[in-house]
Structure 1
Amino acid sequence: MSDQQQRAESGRKIRVVVAKPGLDGHDRGAKIIARALRDAGMEVIYTGLH
């Protein structure tokens, strides 16, 4: 049984952290990825610019 199947059966979501360096103001791509992962059923923590 795969790791993803085990999580689905246990009811736990995959948790992903999305962050980017502070000197790069182009955060649109990170936001798009975060939204796509949420739409796929994952828990996404978006920290924004650092």
Structure 2
Amino acid sequence: RDDPDCFREFRIGGTLHKRYSPKALEYLREALQTVDRKKVWREYQRHIKSRKAK
């Protein structure tokens, strides 16, 4: 959200819409090629379980 080329907020009427740009999606697709998805998923599951325990 810190990069204005990747994230925008805009209003339509009284509603604020928060959206990621196509540039952000391309960045994510490229990052997925270098990340161990199973490891990320395990860490995410561990995080969710720790939140539920509180």
Normalised-by-shorter TM-score class:
0.3 to 0.5
Larger radius of gyration: 2
Q: Which has the higher contact order (CA 8 A, sep 6+)?
A: 1
TM-score (norm 2): 0.31
